[in-house]
Amino acid sequence: MAAEGGSNLAVLDALDSARTQMYHMKAIVIAGMGFFTDAYDLFCITTVSKLLGRIYYPNDNLYLDKPKPGTLPVSTNNLVTGVALVGTLMGQLVFGYFGDKLGRKRVYGITLVLMAACAIGSGLSFGSTRHAVIGTLCFFRFWLGFGIGGDYPLSATIMSEYSNKKTRGAFIAAVFAMQGVGIIFAGLVSMVISGILLRYNPAPSWTEDHDSSLGDQLPAADYMWRIVLMLGAFPALATFYWRMKMPETARYTALIEGNAKQAANDMQKVMDVEIQSEQDKLARYKAANDYPLLSREFAQRHGLHLIGTATTWFLLDIAFYSQNLTQKDIFPAIKLTSPAGDINPLKEVFEISKAMFLVALLGTFPGYWVTVALIDKMGRYLIQLIGFFMMSVFMLLMGIMYDDLKNKYTTLFALFYALTFFFANFGPNSTTFVLPAELFPTRVRSTCHAISAASGKAGAIVAAFGVQSLTLKGDIASIKKALIILAVTNMLGFFFTFLVPETMGRSLEEISGEDGNAGNGPGVPAGAAMGAADVSKDDKIPVSSTEWQSSMQA
């Protein structure tokens, strides 16, 4: 059967109307494993940062009015947990730019190689002093973050350009939802490894015996954090071959490289359908898309969109990364972990990991997949507004009621805390990833997603170096202040969402104006495009499921 394109390119019509099949599932798994690795690598540091303080700064807190186990100095802790975020920001901008200039496929594998190599390097030490260990860790985690950063714009752009318009939001959100699985595994792996080592290396609590508490576990504890960090290399390596075999997206091949014939050939093998190349129709798309990022034309068409996607992601990540990076400091308040002095080093890691695993499993993970289920029914816009609003409400309640929640209503405290995670992920944490992959023209799609994502990582850096400083010492007044600040940032995110239009149910070319129309300008009502989501069955191309492997030969 030939796919007739009408006034549009047939290959684009075929992509927009193809039913869900094997090549979609393969793409989700391949791109999703990258995000699994990203989340594991970024958040596993939360489970071991307190352990690093006990090992390498054991006596720093002995002479306080209330002595306690060693901890990383505030500046060092912020650097250890935040340096990967700085690398991520830079990697997003660099790989996003080259994704548009060189093609999505050409730079896609580099990110995995960098992530795998630096995950292994993070567990090494160039020297025996604490400065050498922390310095080596920070060096490799910076470059680990640089590789992770590249995954954001490339995975989102590739998935959006492969998807059909009816389920595009769910496909992109499913890739991002693997971040939730990665966070779960960061807690699970740390819990299992610390539990095994704890069984064979018992030790008294720090209060019972300062020296034996660490001394009896020192070799095992030092191996433990290194193993956890190095294991992040394996999921990246597992999907490298398949990532290299993915064909370039047809949209990039046709609209940017100007080769409609190659695009049609690639997609014919993927979807097992005959598609006309229609090289003569490319001129109309080129004319509608022939303007650079730094131009008046882009500013008029998409300037407010870019401001909207960048500001909402920035504000969201202040809250989201504050939740994840500071949860080790919140856990004692909600009685999920014991006071540091009452346990030994490996027991502390075990309890932090267990709490992180439970919060991620019950609060974080469901939110991602509820978004996947509903994003093409409710739309991105509404989900983002609901998420920001509910996060603001729960964080404000925790900030105002912190003393009572901590001392009297710890179960309610834990529930509020879990609900902030749920509405972050059934909300802006998912939609801020999806929207930049849909709103912008093919020529600058990867770059615009990178700018939006980098803005988000700037928010994460604010969380790591700013908000985390307020919670690190467990001071009640400072924690209350942090929660109220986060409630305000979420409400700002709610209002900046009004700069972003709804994209549900329309083709990428229609949204961006690449089809020769003006595109969806700022101020278009969120529900204006919702009717387009109801694609008639008669409009579908009856293509059969094929093995992804055959498409890789294109």
pLDDT at 252 over 70: yes
Highest-pLDDT range among 159-173, 276-290, 485-499, 513-527: 485-499
Contact 523, 303 (CB under 8 A): no
Which of 209-213, 328-332, 452-456, 539-543 has the weakest average pLDDT? 539-543
pLDDT in tens, 49-69: 999 999 999 887 766 667 788
Q: What is the pTM of this model?
A: 0.83
pLDDT in tens, 314-355: 999 998 888 766 666 667 777 788 888 899 999 999 999 998
Q: CA 459 to CA 382: how far, in whole Å?
A: 22
DSSP conformation letters of 107-176: HHHHHHHHHHHHHHHHT--SSSSHHHHHHHHHHHHHHHHHHHHHHHHHHHHHHHHHS-TTTHHHHHHHHH
Nearest by Cα to 153 from 313, 25, 7, 342: 313
* Res 122: pLDDT: 93
Amino acid at 427: G
Dist. CA 104–CA 164, nearest whole Å:
18
Q: Percentage of residues in the chain with pLDDT exceeding 70?
A: 84
Hey, CA dihedral for 22, 28, 29, 31, is it positive or negative?
positive
Kindly list the structural domains of the chain, giving each domain's residue range(s) and its CATH number in brackets, ordered by start: 13-285+302-512 (1.20.1250.20)
* Residues above pLDDT 90, as percent of the chain: 41
Q: What is the DSSP letter of 409?
A: -
Those residues with Cβ within 8 angstroms of residue 546's Cβ, 6 or more apart along the chain or in another chain: 21, 22, 23, 269, 270, 271, 272
E strand map for 23-132: none
Smallest CA-to-CA distance from 148 within 83, 225, 77 is with 83
User: What average pLDDT does this structure show over 429-453?
Assistant: 93
93 pLDDT more than 90 = yes
Q: Is the pLDDT score of 406 beyond 90?
A: no
Task: Tell me the CB-side half-sphere exposure of residue 381, using CA atoms within 13 A.
Answer: 20
Phi-psi region of 335 (alpha: psi -120 to 50; beta: other; left: phi over 0): left
**DSSP secondary structure of 266-307:** HHHHHHT-EE---GGGHHHHHHHH---SSSHHHHHHHHHHHH
| CA 30 to each of CA 92, 247, 284: distance values in angstroms, whole numbers, following the listed order | 19, 12, 33
φ/ψ of 223, rounded to 5, equals -65, -35
Q: What is the mean pLDDT of the chain?
A: 83
Query: Could you report the per-residue pLDDT of 508-535, keeping only the tens digit for each?
Result: 888 887 766 544 444 343 444 433 334 3
- 513: Cα within 13 Å, side-chain hemisphere: 18
- CA nearest 8: which of 336, 309, 285? 285
Q: Which helix (H) or strand (E) holds 93?
A: helix 74-101
* pLDDT > 90? residue 309: yes
Q: End-to-end distance of the chain based on CA atoms, in angstroms? A: 20
Separation between Cα atoms, residue 369 and residue 372, nearest integer Å: 5
The arithmetic mean of pLDDT across residues 197-220, rounded, is 90
Q: Using CA atoms, how far apart are residues 526 and 530, in angstroms rounded to an integer? A: 8
